[in-house]
Amino acid sequence: MGQAKTLSERELRRVLDFVASHRHAARNRAMVMLTYYAGLRVGEVAALKYADVVAADSTIKHEFLLTAEQTKGGHARMVFIGDKLRKELAAYVNTLKRYEQDQLPLFRTQKRDGFSANTLCQHFHWLYQRAGLEGASSHSGRRTFITNLAAKGVGVRVLAALAGHRSISTTQAYIDVNDNMKREAVELVF
């Protein structure tokens, strides 16, 4: 099985347009954006609790800790939430009833249960497939996050820390090189 497709802005827009026209739009959009803007794995998205992301004053935190139990590698890491993602999460949280929250899963199925990592992986596959994106998978947002930051000059050590990778070689494998990146690189030559 090959690597997940890295999404262009147009392809991300296509997914978000699809999501907007179907049930649970706010929830699905927030989940996609967590992978795209914070590089979370789908299992990490599924493991999030309301209190992980929402502060006591009902605002979205600027950063939160993923515990070892919530990560793939069993190593806790801090997740930093940029302004764009904070707005996305606030829009979703505003659709929820506050009295139900605290230690409940941030994202729930129609049956009010939290998603399992496997169920959410299948859900992402369905979203991308229905949006018409061949080769996209639950890892596409994460791979796009890492590739986009690399293209903007963020160092591989910072990328590895953000992704929760213990080895920079793992992070390097995520970076997709495209023709536009190569064009921009050759323009840097003096």
Ranges of residues in the chain with a pLDDT under 70 are 1, 98-102
Q: Is the pTM of this model over 0.75?
A: yes
pLDDT at 1: 53
pLDDT value, residue 175: 84
Domains of the chain plus CATH, in order, are: 9-141 (1.10.443.10)
pLDDT at 14: 97
Structure tokens at 149: 């930051």
* pLDDT cut 90: percent of the chain above it: 64
Q: What is the mean pLDDT of the chain?
A: 90
